Amino acid sequence: MPFATPYGMPITMERAQVLIQTAVAEANKRGWALNIAVVDTNGDLVGFARMSGAQLASIEISQHKARVAARYRRPTHAFEDGVQKAGFNYLLTLDNVIASRGGIPLIEGGKLIGAIGCSGGTGSQDETVCDAAANTINAMASK
């Protein structure tokens, strides 16, 4: 089944901070001020950063994106595509769904260890920064 990734040990605070630093560096490189949240396998907050100038409304949105990516075990982009491209408007009736890019599950050794969510830019900008951080998980695991 798609999106049936098994759950692993939840991400630690130390690893979450490394992801946040990676995301902040990527956002700074591009001149974007974002809010970045990392959650565990249950969607509970492990780490958070609000970059200077990031919009206040995006604090909760970044956490929401991360929580949805963890609990539904899929990128939030999947919900955006389902609503916008496939017309699956029923997705919006599911509990706590957000149909906006920028929530990425964190997979290590084939298991979900948490998720990262970014908000404050366009959906594509949020997703780009989250992808840059999420892609470091396997590199961090080998250290």
User: In angstroms, rounded to a whole number, what is the distance separating the alpha carbons of residues 77 and 17?
Assistant: 24
Which amino acid belongs to residue 66?
A
Domain membership of residue 23 (yes or no) is yes
Domain membership of residue 72 (yes or no) is yes
> Rounded to 5 degrees, what angle do the CA atoms 102, 84, 122 make?
35
Domain membership of residue 2 (yes or no) is no
As a whole-number percent, the residues of the chain with pLDDT over 70 amount to 94
What mean pLDDT comes out for the span 101-120? 96
> How many domains does one find in the chain?
1
Specify the CATH number for the domain of residue 126.
3.30.450.150
Residue partners of 130: CB distance under 8 A and separation at least 6? 23, 36, 65, 102, 103, 104, 116, 117, 118
What mean pLDDT comes out for the span 119-140? 92
Q: Is the pLDDT of residue 49 over 70?
A: yes
Domain membership of residue 70 (yes or no) is yes
* pTM attached to this predicted model: 0.93
Domain membership of residue 136 (yes or no) is yes
What mean pLDDT comes out for the span 62-83? 96
Domain membership of residue 4 (yes or no) is no
| Domain that residue 31 falls in | 13-141
Beta bridge partner(s), residue 45: 39
Domain membership of residue 113 (yes or no) is yes
